[in-house]
Amino acid sequence: MLRVFLLLLILATGTVQARTILHRPIELETPSGVLYGSLLLPQSDSPVPVALLIAGSGPTDRNGNNPAGRNDSLKRLAETLAQRGIASVRYDKRGVAASLAAAPDERMLSVEGYVADAAAWGRKLGADSRFSRVVLIGHSEGALIASLAAEQAGAAALVSIAGSGRPIDQVLMEQLSTRLPPPLLAFSAALIEELKAGRTHERIPEPLVVLFRPSVQPYLISLFRQDPAAAFARLRIPALIVQGRHDIQVGIEDAQALKAAKPDAELLLIDGMNHVLRIVPADTQRQLPSYDKPELPLASALGQGIGDFVLRDEQPK
């Protein structure tokens, strides 16, 4: 009976200690429209750190999902951080999901615009007395946006998850080299050089329309002029580089390039983790289903590593 009582006491204590987390919508007014997001706020008697989660490329929403699959990677990360006492805001980028009206035509999109939005979110959160400090957490292309926005956002620290360490045109050509026949690969290489020079091209072969359609070319021009490693090197705040060893989209070499650019940054390599933050086999075909399985748990080392980094130097306002 004593053992049963002690077990019940432990379970009851665990229930009492479970964090109360408020889920609230949050908005950012900008000159060209409203951006919509989600706030997770652990109940606390004192200010808590807040992470601004910045999604990756294309029509990826606040939860880390896009038309190609639902994995809820950023939503699950936000929930994991909340259990560590870290608030978070994740938002639909301009032109995506609930924020579509802020840029209904993708010709209006640019890296500079995304950077301005991230910086404005950061300033909004930094002025909120519920938060002690702002940390930017960018995933994939969002890592580049975070690096470029950090100073304007007033960020106290930054986390790069699966961020490229090379100009994106190089990454793109590397990916295309194993997927396209020689004629289309040659066309892509020539077009990328044109876009790097700031020149658009209207006539695109049908197999390449999804990637190089005329309406997305202005965004690609703004993207190809960025150097992720150089942007990361300019950071004057603590930074953590997180990279999965089984990521088929961004390699360990990219993480090492970021580390070389900013030697004082911390580097966390997670065994078995892929681009959507799950533990999967290294084989490409066997891990692809994880891109559309939101029920899969996140890599446990991810939440542990980011949580420890964010909380380590926590100081009240």
Nearest to 290, CA basis, from 139, 97, 68: 68
The whole model's pTM is what?
A: 0.92
Residue 317, pLDDT > 50, answer no
CATH architecture entry for 21-167+226-312? 3-Layer(aba) Sandwich (3.40)
How is residue 301 written in tokens?
């080392």
Q: What is the pLDDT of residue 47?
A: 97
How is residue 71 written in tokens?
């994995």
User: What's the CA angle centered on 222, arms 216 and 226, to 5 degrees?
Assistant: 135
Write out the H or E segment, with its range, that includes residue 42. Answer: strand 33-42
* Cα–Cα dist 61/53, whole Å: 11
**Side chain identity at 207, as an amino acid letter?**
P
Most distant CA atoms of the chain, gap in Å: 79
Q: Side-chain half-sphere of 1: how many Cα atoms within 13 Å?
A: 0
Q: Is-contact 91 62, C-beta < 8 A?
A: yes
| pLDDT interval class at 19 (50, 70, 90) | confident
Residue 5, pLDDT > 60, answer no
Q: Spell out the domain ranges in the chain.
A: 21-167+226-312
* Cα–Cα dist 291/274, whole Å: 9
| pLDDT interval class at 314 (50, 70, 90) | confident
| Cβ neighbours, 10 Å, residue 171 | 17
pLDDT for 259-311, tens place per residue?
Answer: 999 999 999 999 999 999 999 999 989 999 999 999 999 999 999 999 999 99
